[in-house]
Amino acid sequence: MTTDQLITQIRKKQSFLCIGLDVDLNKIPKHLLKEEDPIFAFNKAIIDATHHLCVAYKPNTAFYEAYGIKGWQALEKTINYLNDNHPEIYTIADAKRGDIGNTSTMYAKAFFEDLGFDSVTVAPYMGKDSVEPFLAFKDKHTILLALTSNQGAFDFQTKTVDGVQLYKQVLETSKSWVNAENLMYVVGATKAEFLADIRKIIPNSFLLVPGVGAQGGNLQEVCKYGMNDSVGLLINSSRGIIYASQEENFAQAAADKSEELQQQMAAVLAI
C-alpha cells in the first residue's frame, strides 16, 4: 500500500487507529480455546467487529513465535484473512528485526513477499546497511524504532550522542538512506512532548505511536504535537481494545472501545 492510499483511508474512515493483535492464550476468552486455531479464531472475531473503525492491524510477531509452528500458522492465516477480505487495511508486522545486509533481505522477503505485510518494524542499532534492504521494497514501509514507549528507552535512546540525543540522531541519519521515503518511525505516546522536536526533524513522515491507553499515553497530547497536514499518525492500541472484555462479548467490547477512540480521532480531524 502507498502512503497516499493510507491517507485516503484515514480521511474516509475518520480514523488513524491501529489495533495491535498481541494474542496471549492466557488472556483470550476461555470458550475460544476449544477452537482448532484459537489465535486465528480470536483475531478473525476482532477483525470482523472492528475493521470499519481502524485503518491498520499490527500483530506483534513475538506472540505468534511463542506458540511455535501453530503460532506461525495463525499469523499466516491472519494476514491472509486481512489481505483477502480487507485489502484496504494497512498491515504492520511488529517484528523489530534488523541484521547485516543479506540477512535483512531475508527478513524483508519473509514479511513483505511471503506473508504480504505492508510494513515491518525494524531496530536501528546496526545502522544503514541493516535497514536499506527493507527500504528497497516498492510500496512497502519500514517502520524504524526511534523513541519507544518503555522505561528502557531512557537507557540509550535519550542519551546525548555528539551533541544530540540518540533517537534524534537516528531520525536525522536515516533521512539520508536510500529510499528514505519508505520510512515511518515508532514514537512512544508516553513521551508526547518529545513529538514537537521530532516533527522539526521529520515533518512529513508517518509516526506509529504505541502506548496510548494501557501504557498511559494521551491521544489529544499526541495529536497536538505529532499531527501534520497529512495526519501523519497511526495510533496503536493493543490490550486496551482486544482485552476490553475476556467474556463471550469480547468482540463487541473491542468494537465499543475502538469506536470510542475512532470518535475522538474524528473530532480531532474535524478541527
**Length of the chain, please?**
271
Q: How far is the CB of 72 from a second copy (least distance, A)?
A: 5
Residues at the contact surface with a second copy, assessed by CB under 8 A = 22, 24, 60, 62-63, 65-69, 72-73, 76, 96-101, 103-104, 106-107, 109-110, 114-115, 123-131, 145, 148-157, 159-162, 166, 169-170, 173
Phi-psi category of residue 221: left, alpha or beta, with phi > 0 → left and psi -120 to 50 → alpha: alpha
Q: Which of 70, 77, 96, 140 is catalytic?
A: 96
- Identify the CA nearest to 9 among candidates 95, 119, 127, 91: 91
Question: How far apart are CB 135 and a second copy at their closest, in Å?
Answer: 13
- CB closer to a second copy, 131 vs 201: 131
Minimum CB separation of residue 68 from a second copy in Å reads: 5
Closest CA to 81 of 48, 110, 36, 107: 48
DSSP strand pairing (164-165 vs 141-147):
unpaired
CB of 270 to a second copy, least distance (A): 33
Q: Is 96 a catalytic residue?
A: yes
Q: In sequence order, what are the residues at sequence separation of 6 or more whose Cβ sits closer than 8 angstroms to the Cβ of residue 243?
A: 27, 250
Q: Which is nearer to a second copy, 170 or 244 (CB)?
A: 170
Question: Considering beta carbons, is residue 13 or 64 the nearer one to a second copy?
Answer: 64
Using left for φ > 0, alpha for ψ between -120 and 50, and beta otherwise, residue 128 falls in alpha
10/95 with CB nearer a second copy: 95
Residues noted as catalytic: 96
